Chains A and B, each alone.
Chain A
Amino acid sequence: MTHTVQLLITCLVDSLYPEVGESVVRVLRNAGIQVGFPRGQTCCGQPAYNAGLRSEARRMAEYTIRTFEATDGAVVIPSGSCAAMIRHSYGDLFADDAACLPRARRLAARTFELSEYLVDVLGLADLGARFEGKIGYHASCHLLRELGVDRQPRLLLNSLHGADVIEIAGAQECCGFGGVFSIEHPELSAAMLERKIQSIEQSQAEAVISCDAGCISHINGGLHRRGLRPRLVHLAAVLDAPSSIPDDPGSQPIGG
């Protein structure tokens, strides 16, 4: 049986990390999945929702719901926070809207974060990918605590051939991104980022896996500003790596 999924690529991957998007497609297709990409998609509305701008968030959410209503199959998202937005927050946004609420719930019910889809839905663990060296995991907050997804990406990570999987100290602590928070509260965001960077540096990991482009931009941006090697890598990029990831820190597949 062939599954078809619809890719909700997220605004960040679409605009900043298109190579991660390409990796997602290859990983899914290698697993025997047909991938659709509804071209009308833009942004799930999370930035506005987190800023407290509910009417703007509702407009974007309704737009997203409409875009995917015309399609079939699971909606797969390479981001924990965007998946959590659709699964949990759309219901909150439309709680008083009898017309939109069932539509929001229907979309929520078919939405999966990428690692969750690979492990829980497809039953995959080993995709045959290879990584030589020390590799760690950064647990993105919404993936971990809103979706409760932690076992799945770690399982995929542990199945990488050749990899020395290590635990990063404070892996479950927030990196200080928080969307609009990182702009509104630069000092607090910087202090939290500093802790994260220190623990990554101390871990001596050559790559740190994350399932969220937000955390990746934030931590890699901080590493680059300090003259350190950006090494946050999207999960899809390592799963798509038959041999190893490229060495150039700025090159796109490692997310920045």
Chain B
Amino acid sequence: MNSIFRAQIRSALANPVLQEALDANAKRRSEARQDALASLPEDWHTLRRRAHTLRAGIVDSLDEHLAEFIRQAQNNGIIVHRAATAQDAVDCIAHIAKDNQAKLIAKSKSMVSEEINLNPALEAEGFQVVETDLGEYIVQLRGERPAHIITPAIHLRRQEVGSTFQEKLGVPYSDDIQHLVRVARHTLRQVFLEADIGISGVNFGVVEDGTLCLLTNEGNGRMVTTLPPIHIALMGIERLVPTRADLAVMLQLLPRSATGQKITVYTSLIRGPSAIAGINPRQRHLVLLDNGRTAIQNSALREALYCIRCGACLNVCPVFREIGGHGYVGQHGESSPYPGPIGSVLSPGLFTAEEFGHLARASTLCGACKETCPVDIDLPKLLLQVRAGVGTVRKGQITTPNSPAALSLGLGIYTWLATNRLRFTIAQRVAGSLGKLFARSHWIHLPAFTGWGYSKDFPLPSARPFRDRFAEQPAGDINSPAGVNNPPETQFTSAVIHRTEELKATLEVISASARFAKELAALGGQITFCSTANLATQVMALLRSRDIDSVISWTQEHLPASFLSILISSGIRITHEAQPSIRAGLTGALAAVAESGTLVLPDGAGKPLVASLTPEIHIAILLEEDIYNNLEEVLCLPQLKQANAAVLISGPSRTADIEMSLTVGVHGPRELYVFCIKE
């Protein structure tokens, strides 16, 4: 085994802080995931097979889908760039930055940017690049790679985050998580407001209309795609879904698998640059990265391209649980941006099997990854392909298994023995006799260097194998079968099934608005039912109670009649533009989704997205008749499909990036009030 990898494994196992963090991650993430899956409106296995099929369809004819996606995106006004390699992508982004005299770049989380080492490259060109996802920000300050694709700072405790902030930001030490989140909010708010460029990843590209879908909880993804004059989206060429209805399938699976949420707090749907003069972003670029993906598509590892980067396979992997994301190092000690089971397939596929092929051997093939995968990727099979060396083999190349020489030799001999009855029988007898010579008991104490002997004894081979004993077995009375009876009804149901049924039972049939209210409350939002007549009174009461005298608002034409004039006459100052000092934002809502407590806000003239983004308090006015049952209906609403940018909001902004402790109010609003008009 590669000695650097082994050293990394040993150091991870000897690190009690890391072990505790990884245990907590495994436990909480899998529990949250189970609960979230139980809340699915349809059977999980059926849904994931649908997801598998639709991702397979994309990857099978990637060229055609990609061409159509690019055509649609360009029609929408997005400037599309294709990058064959990591270097091409870096050069392309640096070029855009230079052309626009950019200095400060705000980034939201993107695994592709980690893959191409974007930050160091841009910094070397003189740009200041700031990660804005809390976890990413912490690891950037520490000069580390993310330790998990969803929870980058999973390996750190609050004390380490406190020390990092003290050292790098010059703030007084604190290990209070709420305080640390406030420090990050304060520091990064300036970055959002001053950034010349925002760079984001993309969770899904929708082929039929060129939409970019981006999921975040903290609100930083919205900030970097909304506030700076230029937005650059970076995505792998394979992250496509055919239609918006298909997107709804993936949106039911991704957040549930990743964080155990029914839906992330913010689901941004981006089609093009702002169509309104004076409103950012003026330009949207899309950089589509290949960097080995086409090669994987043409190899036995093709299924790895179905991955939607939820990180669920990391959370259930017993090996990840021992070594964490930094443990997956290459031959030369550099860790791969993609850890865990999927990383042990992607890393050799994308960054050569010579460098990362050994990672595929660090698996028991227990299958927990496949069982958990929301797109049903057969990860054990892919790990075996990497082991066999056929993973990335293209036509005409020779396959070389990456088995260590001693193991190959041993198994070669074993194969020779096991393909001949006589040879096998003799070997069995030799083993039986040798065992007797060396062992004083039923066990052989093998030394540590044998691998097995590191932590366990080996059972003594029997001097009389089964094959010698079979003939001596009494034949039994085959005419009077004993114990044959009818099996009782299945007694065993797993804990998981029980849990699912309990949770399902609680979802009694209730009206869409009641369901919406319940889900919103569970997310930490507050809902007030009112009539048009008393809406203004209710909103004024809230504003007064919070000492608010000015709001960023949608314009009157998008709100109930004469609503704003009542507010103005009550002394409230109304603006329609981003102003950092204003504490409250007032919006309408195109629609809402009952099953996930989600509000739907498209942009457009008089409907600034910043009203629901930069203030601490977001107040939304919703008509009861606009509450739909499920996400798919809403995603296909014509007004939503036509918006240049839209956001689905599910509760106040939140993070769990420090010790997985839930903290509400990061970059987006920390309070969400919905006034639902019921006539």
State which of A49, A141, A183, A256 has its C-beta within 8 Å of the C-beta of B366: A141
- Contact between B455 and A190, CB atoms less than 8 A apart: yes
Whether B419 contacts A42 by the Cβ 8 Å rule is yes
Q: Is the CB of B458 within 8 A of A32?
A: no
Among listed A106-114, A147-155, A200-208, interface-contacting one: A147-155
Whether A15 contacts B465 in the complex (CB less than 8 A), given A54-B390, A217-B459, comes out as yes
Given A53-B408, A63-B418, A174-B366, answer yes or no on A125-B452 (Cβ-Cβ < 8 Å). Answer: no
Q: Is the CB–CB distance between A145 and B370 below 8 Å?
A: yes
| With contact pairs A30-B482, A32-B482, A42-B418 given, residues A187 and B384 touching in the complex (Cβ less than 8 Å) | no
Contact A184 B442 (CB under 8 A): no
* Chain A residue at minimal CB-CB distance from B481: A32
In the assembled complex, the Cα of A226 lies from the Cα of B142 at a distance in Å of 40
Q: Does A136 contact B (CB under 8 A)?
A: no
Chain B stretch 1-35: residues in CB contact (< 8 A) with chain A: 1, 6, 9-10, 13
Residues from chain B with Cβ under 8 Å of A179 in the complex: 364-365
Cβ–Cβ contact A53 & B411, under 8 A: yes
- What are the interface flags for B345-388 relative to A under an 8 Å C-beta threshold, 1 for contact and 0 otherwise? 00000000000000001111111101100000000010010111
CB within 8 A of A176: which of B364, B388, B470, B483? B364
User: In the complex the two chains form, what is the Cα distance from A53 to B13 in whole Å?
Assistant: 29
Chain B residues within 8 Å of chain A by Cβ, number:
90
- List the B side residues contacting A33 at CB < 8 Å: 478
Residue among A60, A123, A124, A126 making CB contact with B418, cutoff 8 Å: A60
Are B484 and A37 in touch, CB under 8 angstroms? no
Does B428 lie within 8 Å of A14, measured CB to CB?
Answer: yes
Q: How far, in whole Å, are A37 and B471 apart by their CA atoms in the complex?
A: 9
Chain B residues contacting A218 (CB-CB under 8 Å) are: 456
B457 and A15 contacting across the interface, CB-CB below 8 Å:
no
| Residues in A whose Cβ lies below 8 Å from that of B476 | 26, 29-30
B363 contact set on A, CB distance < 8 A? 178, 181
Q: Closest Cβ of chain B: how far from A86's Cβ, in Å?
A: 15
Q: Are A184 and B1 in contact (CB under 8 A)?
A: yes
**What residues on B are CB-neighbors of A69 within 8 Å?**
none
B520 to chain A minimum Cβ distance, whole angstroms, is: 35
User: Interface of chain B, helix or strand or loop or mixed?
Assistant: loop
Smallest beta-carbon distance B461→chain A, Å: 5
B469 CB–A CB distance under 8 Å = yes
Determine which residue in B365, B370, B407 has the highest number of CB atoms from chain A within 10 A of its CB, and name it: B365
Contact of A48 among B319, B411, B470 (CB under 8 A): B411
Interface size on A, residues (CB 8 A): 92
Cβ of B397 within 8 Å of any chain A Cβ, yes or no, is no
Set of chain A residues within 8 Å of B459, measured between Cβ atoms: 16-17, 217, 220-221, 255-256
B367 x A141 contact (CB < 8 A): yes
- Residues of chain B within 8 A (CB-CB) of A17 are 459, 462, 466
B387 cross-chain contacts in A, Cβ below 8 A: 50-52
> Does B98 lie at the interface of the complex (its beta carbon under 8 Å from any beta carbon of A)?
no
| Separation of A15 and B468 alpha carbons in the complex (Å) | 10
Contacting B403 at CB < 8 Å: which of A52, A125, A217? A52
CB atoms of B384 and A50 under 8 A apart? yes
Docked complex Cα distance between A34 and B478 (Å): 7
- Give the contacting residue for A145; candidates B323, B368, B484; CB below 8 A: B368
Q: B370 to chain A: which residues have CB within 8 Å?
A: 145
Any B CB within 8 A of the CB of A73: no
**Chain A 26-67: CB-based contact to B (< 8 A → 1; otherwise 0):** 100111111101011011010111111110100110010000
Given A42-B418, A50-B384, A128-B483, A18 contacting B452 (CB threshold 8 A): no
- A11 contacts B456, CB within 8 Å? no
Given contacts A150-B494, A181-B364, contact A47 B469 (CB under 8 A): no
Known interface pairs A43-B414, A52-B388, A221-B452; A187-B364 also in contact (CB < 8 Å): no
Q: A128-B483, A181-B362, A188-B319 are in contact. List 17 more A-B contacts (CB 8 A).
A: A18-B465, A26-B473, A40-B421, A53-B412, A54-B388, A60-B419, A125-B485, A173-B318, A176-B364, A179-B365, A181-B365, A183-B407, A184-B407, A186-B454, A190-B454, A194-B455, A221-B457
Interfacial residues, chain A to chain B (CB-CB below 8 A):
2, 7, 9, 11, 13-18, 21-22, 25-26, 29-35, 37, 39-40, 42-43, 45, 47-54, 56, 59-60, 63, 92, 119, 122-128, 141-142, 144-146, 150-151, 154-155, 158, 167, 173-174, 176-194, 217-218, 220-222, 224-225, 250-252, 255-256
CB<8 Å pairs between A and B, sample of 8: A14-B467, A30-B482, A52-B386, A60-B419, A63-B418, A124-B487, A154-B492, A186-B455
